[in-house]
Structure 1
Amino acid sequence: MFPEFKSDNLSEKEKSIEAKMESNKKEVESLLKNSPLSFANFLKPYQTIHTELSDLSTELSHIHSVKNSEESQTIYTRVIPKLTEYYTDLGQNESVYNAFLEIQKSDKTLTKEQKKVLDNEIRDFRLSGVGLAQDKKDKLKDLRIRHSELTNQFSQNVLNATNSFEMILSEEDVKGMPEGELVAARTEDGKYKFTLQFPSYIAYMTYGPNREKRKELYKAYSTRAPENGKILEEILKIKKEEASLLDFKNYAELSLATKVADTPEQVLGFLRNLAAKAKPIAEKELKTLRDFAKERGQEEIESADLMFYSEQLKKETFDYEEEKYRPYLEKESVTKGTFRFLESLLGIQFQEVKTPVWHPSVLCYDLVIDKEVRSRLYLDLEARKDKKGGAWMHNWKPHFIDEKGKETLPIAFVIGNFPAATKDHPSLLKPNDVVTLFHELGHALHHLLSRVGEAFVSGVNGVEWDAVEFPSQFLENFAYEPKVLTLFAKHYQTGETIPQSFIDVMVNAKNFQSAMGVVRQLEFAIFDMLIHLDSPNEEGVQKILEQVRDEVSVIKPPSFNRFQNSFSHIFAGGYAAGYYSYKWAELLSANAYFSFVDKGVFDLKLAEHFRKTVLEKGGSENAMVLFRDFYGKDPEIEALLRLNGIAA
């Protein structure tokens, strides 16, 4: 029913990808000879062969992300330009484009899903330069190949810089830190090692007692990969040229052509409206923090102090200590309990299966609804040195029915970088780690529960980028629900359920400094949109960032901070001129979430309605149409403010 994932033989994967590209070219030429052309004899098999190519390239990119090695770097660097060239040539193929137009005009049997596939393909071909003069097509192809090389190098530079730094500390420098963090950092010779891997970095920035060491660690983290300054400059130049070739004023407008939002001005208006509501509250939050630090002898707090004093203030205000929760959030227990929650919320069951995996800590599950196996999920949650930082969902195979009537079931990977278990100590999570797990599982469910028959609009495929975060943000909100926490928060040694008093404190502390968090995200989103309205050089990018910070931020980082050099979301991911999507989708998710909360969380009728109107529909319809099908009206900003504890 499901293929095995093979993590070895990378050279064979490379050969398979190259062979598939060549066979696809021949197959497309053969399909074009069908007469008359129809969705059934052209677009069905066309989707199948390109889904097969996508599956192969996903296998390679996945291993490159979770089992990074010199071999994977070499092979991935060779393959990416070839794939980019293949898709650029395909997107500029006039014969294929004309076939789409012919089918759109003449095939009267199209379903709604099939019309969406056609509409998307025609739009994307136009955005790929079909119809351009040959010299412009060649130029666009060269730009996109170069862009793929640069984004890969940007990402690799960040990973290399992250892995190259370590700070060895003595007992004195870690005095008073939580035992769980010390266990993770302790070396064989009794010292303590902290790195720029996110769990390690956050641990010392939150609890590290030595201010100078915190500042050293912060500087190393915020100045990673300085060579990326010139790379992002070239990336922005390429994006501007690409937009110009396609008759867009700037890359921001090109980016929005595939999103729900209409114009950069609309996006910036939304972000700045939210900033106007959040910044005054964020300023009050910062004043409270400064006063707190001053009472403890720290006259002026800097960026390297924020997490440290915020944690202390949170502890004093709410009697909240994140470390107290970790014994109740053992990774395996959280995972199993989360599955029980999803069974109660959405009627899904998870059955663990034994199958080859790329690391011993990886787990695999089949998703079952009404006794029917619907999809497969791999979980790879622990941090490793050969693994890209952060957390993400990677879809391997979509649900679809091919031209022969064969059904393919979806498969996805959820990747995290939670503290690794040792032979003496399990992986104990923080509450924020649980939120991250819920978030990525939301992405996975959006893909894995799809019932769409067309591969190109199934699951997360074809979903507008500014709505793709909707299901993930919807699900992450439940990580703070008391009814949910009691399902999985059990002490790893005693099995005791987390005390109600702990839950009350965590819920009360949920929106601690939430306005500061909101303006931080708005800083990223406005910066992202503004730099894509033009193509500033390295210095110009920094200037824009400083201007945005003047507008919406409440604390200025030190002048050496170059966070943009590791801003992989927009320079090595899919969020260029689209980082606002997190807040845009959060607006949808907040409205959907409170519709559940206001009915007591577990409401099977509402859950089935959500599953069928949103999760099962994937990208087969405009995301706002699907949202309205579920919610009955447009989203309201009051729900977003309520979610963040910000008064309207």
Structure 2
Amino acid sequence: MSLEPLVLPTAEWADWLDGYVRGRLEVVGEVSGRLREGGGLDTEAVLELWNDADIALRAADSAAGLFAEVHPDGEVRDLGDKLAQDVDRVRTDRDLDRGLYDVVAATDPAGLDATAERMREKVLRDFRRAGVDADAAARARLREISERLAVLEQDFRRAITTDVRTLRLVPEQLDGLPEDFLAAHPPQEDGLVEVNTDYPDYLPFRTFARDAGARRALATQFESRGWPANDAVLHEMLDLRDEKARLLGYAGWPDYDAEVKMIGTGAAIAEFIERISAAAADAGRRDYEALLARRRADDPAAEGIDRSQSGYYTELIRRERFDVDAREVRRYFDFQRVRAGLLEVTGRLFGLEYRPVDVPVWHEEVAAYDVYTDGERRGRIYLDLHPRDGKYKHAAQFELVGGITDRLLPEGVLVCNFSRGLMEHDHVVTLFHEFGHLLHHVLGGRQRWARFSGVATEWDFVEAPSQMLEEWAWDPTILGSFAVDETGTAIPADLVARMRDAHEFGKAITVLTQVGYAAISYGLHRDRPADHTAAVAATLARYSPIAPLPDTHFQTSFGHLSGYTSAYYTYLWSLVIAKDLFSAFDADDLFEPAVAHRYRDRILVPGGTRDAADLAADFLGRPVTFDAFAAWLDRAPGQ
């Protein structure tokens, strides 16, 4: 069967989006009505109808959420936010509908195949976790909480997106920045240069600018985005999540949230945080002492390293100790070549072909490709990779269409904020990482049941495939295939080796920084302190040797507190798994087809049809262990 992708509009985006989302919400209502009527439906028929509603609800949610974040027209973004609230309201009503629950609960699992039985169990679990069996007053309050949280989470994200802060500096304060950065930031009529807190400005500035005061000023502004607007928003979000969890019989939000993840309980999150912190402590101390020693070469009286200095001195050590100058490395990573190289590498690795298509898109810089395997179209991807006003500020994969066998092609969107010219190698790694999510969405998008389609595993596994794909952005042969300088000379293999060694320096501090973020995510939800700023500063100081900046409010710009809630630990949990998955590959031949295709077919293609631990064990031939992560963490540069 030939499936056609979704056709996007060429104009009148607001009308299209409104009609598309509302049309699918009407389908949810119609299907729910048919289910309530019952009328002799057997188990398979009930589940198929439920799946029809899932497909429609997921489509509405995906479109509203995506275009609220990426559409260049502010009115369309606002409409997306409003429609997303409508979607959440419909979802909440469905999950709290006792009549629908009774229909599903009355079905007989006997005779179902394993995936259909899994589907039925997940639906019943969702009902219970929504509070369908609570009394009327509790259900009403849970509905109020859900609707209010939908608004608050949008407000939290939007405050971060719109709070772009600017510094006006004298040109000398840009000393150390690469030539192309300087060319893109010429002095204005008054002789001053504007630098802002968006990533294409902020990351190079904190890494290369020699002026410590300017770095500190920009970092202070960066770590206070969303302040003060998000302070009250975050307090209310945390309070409502806690109230919801307790109404449902849990000790608090982390226990409620962790129940459906690999980790299982809130207490296990705390244990995992401490385990990673202890594992990284010695290496982190060595890294920190090296950073402080290097800073003291500039300032003998220096007593520490703070968050405005760590990136700069890490880069200096990498340059001086390993002969790697990131400003020079950038010459090899022209954006257009990197994008082409990414497609070539992943296509070869997983047996894919990407065919560019000329179709309507929401912005002229968006590129669209159809994805083929063995001549068969498997999905469509959109690459929206450059910053613009009002656009989502980080890097993420968004769903446009969830794939359903013989019904819908999976369609995904990569949303990033990269330079249009030369890229940092770190950004190349990020691009590979996020593309891993996109591949998971497309390759896992051939499922009967919508809830198992694409990136549908437990949330603390979803980062593992994308983290593992980062390894392909460090291989000298792979990089040499697309990383060339202005003369056409490929990046030298010995430079890539030095880059890898340089990258290894500071990895423990990076891990400890992530531990701090995980502890913030968990601790704010567990304890709900009255003073978030003080609690966050204390947490950062406890887990990382890098000092937090005074007079900043990191939590109000920590966008993961909206989506990831108490589960930011998932990045490190997934990294442990990713290192173990990568151990199955031959580091000397990352294109070896047998293992690559086994990985594709056993990790990516199944989507959420099996528990993540079982997927990993099936691929590895054993359960996941901590060993590969521990070995990586202990390995010194050059080993």
The alignment's TM-score, normalised by the length of structure 2, stands at 0.94
Kindly indicate whether the alpha-carbon contact (under 8 Å) linking 1:340 and 1:487 is maintained by their aligned counterparts in 2. no
Cα 1:80/1:458, change in 2 over 3 Å: closer
- Aligned with residue 551 of structure 1, among 539, 542, 550: 542
| Of 183-192 and 317-326, the range deviating more from structure 2 | 183-192
Q: Is the 8 A contact 2:31 2:52 kept in 1?
A: no
State the 1:646 CA deviation: 4.6
Could you give the per-residue CA deviations for residues 408-434 of structure 1, whole angstroms, max 9, x where no partner exists?
111100111001x3xxxxx21111111
- Within 5 Å, give how 1:23-62 maps onto structure 2: 23-62=27-66
**From 133, 136, 157, the counterpart of 1:134:** 136
Task: Give, in angstroms, the shift of residue 245 of structure 1.
Answer: 0.8
Which residue of structure 2 lines up, in the alignment, with residue 386 of structure 1? 390
2:29 paired with 1:5: no
Task: Indicate the residue corresponding to 1:223 in structure 2.
Answer: 224
- Paired residues of 2:70 and 2:77 also in contact (CA < 8 A): no
- Report the alpha carbon displacement of residue 188 of structure 1 after superposing the two structures with TM: 6.0
Partner secondary structure for residue 584 of structure 2? helix
Using the TM superposition, give the Cα deviation of residue 558 of structure 1 relative to its aligned residue in structure 2, in angstroms.
Answer: 2.8
**Structure 1 counterpart of 2:90:** 86
In 1, Cα distance between equivalents of 2:42 and 2:462: 30
Deviations 1:553-572 (A, max 9, x none): 212213312101111111x2
Deviates most, 40-49 or 114-123: 40-49
Answer whether contact 1:303 1:557 (CA < 8 A) is retained: yes
CA contact (8 A) 1:279 1:554 kept: no
Q: Secondary structure at the match of 2:168?
A: strand
Distance of 1:218 and 1:547 partners within structure 2:
18
From 448, 451, 455, the equivalent of 1:456 is 451
Specify which of 70, 74, 78 is matched with residue 74 of structure 1: 78
Stretch moving more, 588-597 or 21-30 = 21-30
1:153-552 equivalence runs, <5 A: 153-162=155-164, 165-186=165-186, 189=189, 191-226=192-227, 227-297=229-299, 299-300=301-302, 301-401=305-405, 406-419=406-419, 421=420, 427-450=421-444, 451-461=446-456, 463-491=457-485, 493-537=486-530, 539=531, 541-552=532-543
Identify the match of residue 626 of structure 1 among 597, 615, 624: 615
In 2 relative to 1, CA 646–533 (structure 1 residues): closer, same or farther, beyond 3 Å? farther
> What's the offset of the Cα at 1:317?
0.8
Amino acid at match of 1:487: S
In structure 2, the residue corresponding to 1:413 is in which secondary structure?
strand
Judged with a 3 Å threshold, the aligned counterparts in structure 2 of structure 1 residues 347 and 14 are, in CA distance, closer, same or farther, namely same
- 2:385–2:414 CA contact under 8 A, matched in 1: yes
Q: Tell whether the 8 Å contact from 2:402 to 2:450 is kept in structure 1 after alignment.
A: yes
Letter in 2 for 1:621: R
SS of corresponding position for 1:224: coil
Change (3 A) 1:579 1:36: same
Residue number in structure 1 paired with 2:584:
595
Q: Distance in 2 between matches of 1:115 and 1:55?
A: 24
**How many angstroms does 1:143 deviate by?**
0.7
CA shift digits 1:423-458 (9 cap, x unpaired): xxxx21111111111111111111100232221111
Question: Mean alpha-carbon deviation: is it higher for 517-526 or for 352-361?
Answer: 352-361
Query: Could you tell me how far 1:22 is from its partner in structure 2?
Result: 3.6
2:154 paired residue number? 152
Residue 566 (structure 1) aligns with = 557
Aligned residues: 628
Contact (CA 8 Å) 2:464, 2:578: kept in 1 or not? yes
Distance 1:328 1:619, change over 3 A: same
State the partner residue of 1:424: none
Task: Give the deviation of 1:543 after TM superposition.
Answer: 4.1
TM-fit CA distance, 1:599: 6.5
Moved more, 248-257 or 22-31: 22-31
The residue type equivalent to 1:457 in the other structure is F
Q: Is the 8 A contact 1:549 1:556 kept in 2?
A: yes
Q: 2:629 aligns with which of 635, 640, 645?
A: 640
Flag the 1:524–1:646 CA change in 2: closer, same or farther, 3 A: farther
Q: Give 1:261 shift.
A: 0.9
Contact 1:38 1:107 in 2 (8 A): no
> 379-388 or 34-43, which moves further after superposition?
34-43
User: What is the match of residue 606 of structure 1?
Assistant: 595
Q: Report sequence identity in percent.
A: 25
Shift of 1:210: 2.1
Q: Which residue of 2 aligns with 1:584?
A: 573
- The letter of the residue matching 1:200 is D
Question: 1:452, 1:616 within 8 Å by CA — same for their partners in 2?
Answer: no
Which secondary structure does the structure 2 equivalent of 1:180 belong to?
helix
Q: State whether residues 113 and 452 of structure 1, in contact with CA within 8 Å, keep that contact through their aligned partners in structure 2.
A: no
Give, in angstroms, the shift of residue 26 of structure 1: 2.8
Residue identity opposite 1:437 in structure 2? L
Structure 2 CA distance, aligned partners of 1:609 and 1:234?
Answer: 46
Structure 2 distance, partners of 1:633, 1:599, is 23
Structure 1 stretch displaced more, 251-260 or 324-333: 324-333
Post-superposition Cα deviations, 1:256-302, rounded to whole Å, max 9, x if no partner, equal: 12111122222221221121121222122111111111112363243
SS of match in other structure, 1:619: coil
Taking the aligned partners of 1:584 and 1:502, their CA distance within structure 2 comes to 31
Structure 1 residues without counterparts, runs of 5 or longer: 422-426
User: 1:547 Cα shift?
Assistant: 3.9
- How far the C-alpha of 1:12 sits from its partner, in A, is 4.1
Contact residue 537 and residue 548 of structure 2 kept, 8 A: no
CA contact (8 A) 1:97 1:130 kept: yes
Q: Is the 8 A contact 2:477 2:493 kept in 1?
A: no
In 1, Cα distance between equivalents of 2:516 and 2:274: 10
- Partner of 2:37, secondary structure, is coil
TM-score w.r.t. the length of structure 1 is 0.93
Partner of 1:400, secondary structure, is coil
Q: Distance in 2 between matches of 1:129 and 1:68?
A: 38
Q: 1:188 to 1:6 in 2, by over 3 A?
A: farther
